[in-house]
Amino acid sequence: MFTRLLAPLVLVTVSGIAYGQSFTPKDMAAAAELRDRAMNDNTAYELVTSLTTEVGPRAAGSPGDRAAVEWAERNLRRLGFSSVRRMDVIVPHWVRGTASFEVRSPYPQSMPVLALGGSIGTADTGLTADIVMVDNLAALKALPPGAVKDRIVFFAGRTERTRDGSGYGKAVQVRAQGPSAAAALGAIGVVIRSIGTSNNRFPHTGALSYNISAPRIPAVALSNPDADALERQVASGKPVTVSMTVSARDLPQTLSANVIGEIPGTDPNAEIVLVGAHLDSWDPGTGALDDGAGVAIVMTAAKLIRETNPKPRRTIRVVLFANEEFGLSGSLTYANKIDEEFSRHAVALESDFGAGPVLQLASRVPANLLPAIQAVQEVVAPLGVEPGGNEANGGADLAPLRRLGMPLIGPQLDGTNYFDVHHTANDTLDQVDPEHIRQAAAVYAVSAYLAAQLPVSWGRNTTPTPAPN
């Protein structure tokens, strides 16, 4: 699918700055060679295969989480990384247990559900109540006083399918905030339409966020087809009574780790190019797309850079973050622990949006460095990568660094089908296209390599930026 022609190595001027002032012809030629070599390298697919087969689900605090840390250390060393080490991270330990959901009337039927991440459990006898259906948080807040007291609230709003994930960003607040918003109005439970675009009966999990000012109530997710069926029952005009049970529970916090490995730069005084992904996953599937693919992409990109000449001037640091899914524990710990070293961090990239392909090369860098980003994009253009904007968020794990002004390079992957399997039992290896993940690894490798070669400082972004959805 991806053309492997060498990009023309011409000097193009943007805003009065020639590419040649940013990267040498030798660097650009090396980047093009790296690109082509990456498109014939199967390391990324082999790594995601290994992680999903030998470790599988990697929920924070679980045995799979611990096995993933060991897997990451072992494979970073095998691939030739230096300074492989753990950075201890305290993580929550929530256990899903089981969940059930039954429509009692008017038309009895059973519907599969998953507890939302962090949900409390019910009593063994469960909950039984009439439901109140709303589309979103605004509709809930517009209900008359007492409308949801002692009821189970059903959030029925849909997730729009988009290439860039913006549909998910609009819908996900219901999952995060809905349970506490409903509880504050007197509800005793919540069921949501899954935050996803699938049309099968596999529900999508994901974290909720309890507000300390409201009671904690149990919350589950229905698949899209089952949410449709529940909507039809509500549309009958008859009261809809449901029962739900959840056996989820919290265990004491435990120890996990960020796993770090480096490809040393040739300049011992030079800075760090951070390339990150998150090692944990939700537990229904094996975390192949979220974020096994990202782990494989960044490890492969750095491994390919290690094999490139000239060697990178800046150090390439791979960080596999702990517990992104349930609180960003790993990235927050990293930002706190590198306090004095932050000044050495030049630029960062993150892979946490599936296995590709990359469609655009976006960024968030000072305006005077946009010609450097355009130079990178020209190298990966033969892979089908178009120019992106300068408003990239980078990803959730880069949020703490982004707020401090860290420049970002943001390859934008195709998310059209990503939310069909996101946080479901279907997030398995068969969803990873070997050619797509090769292309993504190639784009990340070229981006990180040229970021390491830039002869001038990447500087800092001065405009505060919001956290990603």
CATH C-level class of 13-92+252-453: alpha beta
Flag whether the pTM goes above 0.85.
yes
> Cα dihedral sign for 441, 335, 50, 223?
negative
- In whole numbers, what is the pLDDT of the chain averaged over residues? 94
Confidence of residue 340 (pLDDT cuts 50, 70, 90): confident
Tell me what pLDDT residue 270 has.
81
pLDDT at 22 over 90: no
pLDDT at 13 over 60: no
- In one-letter notation, the amino acid at residue 117 is G
pLDDT at 3 over 90: no
Parts of the chain belonging to CATH 3.40.630.10: 13-92+252-453
Q: Residues near 271 by Cβ (< 8 Å), separated by ≥ 6? A: 314, 315, 344, 345, 346, 458
Q: Which residue has the higher pLDDT, 465 or 43?
A: 43
The token pair that represents 75 in the structure block: 């494979």
Tell me what pLDDT residue 463 has.
66
Percent of the chain's residues with pLDDT above 70: 94
CA separation for the pair 248, 269 (Å, rounded): 50
CATH code for residues 97-247? 3.50.30.30
pLDDT at 21 over 70: no
The token pair that represents 112 in the structure block: 């599969």
